[in-house]
Each structure stands twice: as structure tokens, then as C-alpha cells.
A and B are shown apart, each in its own frame.
Chain A
Amino acid sequence: MDHRDYDAENGEAQLDALFHAYRQACPDPEPGAGFMPRLWQRIEARERVSFVFGRLARHVVTAALALSMLMAFAVIVRSRTAPLPPESYVEVLAEDHARQSLDYVEPVRMTPVADQAH
């Protein structure tokens, strides 16, 4: 058998023995007298936190809902007081496009050939 294989095999057995020794060195500990009271304290503390957080979240959601309704109301009121232009958006765009395309059109200058010779 190769020396390295023997080492690994031997190591495997020793590692198993070490794990076994570890199991023996860490027996199931006896819980302390305060284990259950402290556990219930922690549960109650976490319940309190989640209760407070839940209430806070509910308030935030309510406030957000009220705010969005208020904003919707404001938008509706504003749109009624300042009516939209009679043309549609597409019509406004088309009109604008026509104006812009005119900018590129320059008058054609026709110079007689005779003038060019001078």
C-alpha cells in the first residue's frame, strides 16, 4: 500500500475517533432553572415589537392611502378649473412638426448664368 494512502486511511479512522471523543466531551447539558421564564420573556418581547411594528405599518398605510386620495382629488379639481386645449395631443404635435419642417425650407436663389461670369 502506498504510504500516502495508508496515512489518509489512518487519518480517516483517527478523525472518526476524534468526532466520537467530541460527542463524549459534549453531553446534553441540563437546562438552567431560568430557561423557561427567559424563553417566555423573549417571546413576549418579540411579540411586543411585532405588535408595535404592525400598528406603525397600519398607520403608515392609512396615511399613504389618505394622501393618495387627496392628490387624486387635487388633480381632478385642477383639471376641471384649467380645461385642456381643444386639439388633441397628436394634432398639437403635427402642427409643431409642420412649423419645424418649414424652418428648413429656404427660398431658392436663381442666379442668371451671365451674372456668374462677372
Chain B
Amino acid sequence: MITEEQTNQAVAEILNSHKNEKKNLIPLLQEFQAKLGYLPKKSMQEIADFLEMPEVEVWGVATFYNQFRFVPLGKYHIRVCMGTACHLGGGKLILEALERELDIKVGETAEDGNFSLERVACIGCCMLAPVIVIGDKIYPKMTPFKVEEALIPYKQEPQSENS
């Protein structure tokens, strides 16, 4: 989790680099999320004050778009492509396999904070369908069987850190 102090500092930095114009609302939300990993409640209030608009309007815009999140992501964020080509190639089975392997539902973050799972519409790699993305790495031509294999290095890493 991010401390309040860190949040405050990040918020101030980002706000200072923008003008008080309504068209900057979405860029502000995007930069906050890029910096903080998600949009904490406090940041929404800050943006509303800065742009001199009701906080509810900021929430309205933020909740309208798929990109914005209001809970922190896992250390490894997994995106499952659910575009047409991936669907036809069995994307739903891949998603189910991930839910099984990670023991979380899509949209959730695991309790230990290691993994979070998200479905996305299309990442534009249709010729490699079905694909998943772990962090920045794209895993092409997945099968439910290969899911387990793909997760191994990520599941092992936290242990090696402890040892």
C-alpha cells in the first residue's frame, strides 16, 4: 500500500504540471493511476478541488472508463485478452484456468497482493490468440494447460525473496 505522504507528494507533483482546464481531467486520472497504481479516494478529491468541479463528476468520469481502478493491483497483474480471435480460440477457458490457479475471480486482487486478474477487450495480437499478458510480457497461443506452466516463475519468486 502507498502511504498517505507518498500520495500527497505524487498528487502535488502531477497537479502542478497541469492547467486548471476541464479537458485535463482524463489525463490527470491517467497520470495519477500510472504513478499510484490505482486511484485512491483522496486523489479524486484533490482532482475535483484542482479542477473546481464537484467530486461526483470526477467519480462519474473515472468509473465510466474501463482503464481506471480503485483498488491496488497485484504485484503481477494479469490481463486476459477476450477479443474475438481469443474468444474463438478458447479465451474463456484460459480465464477460467487462471481463476482456478490463482484462486481469485476476474477483477480481483489476491489477498497476498501477488496477483490480480483483469479481462481486456483486445490487445491487438490476434494472430497469436489466445493471449494473456503478465506484467508486460505477452504469452501467445495459450491453452488451459499452459497457464499453470506460465505462472510457475511468478509463483516461485516471492519464496526466493524470503529465503
- Do chains A and B interact in one complex? no
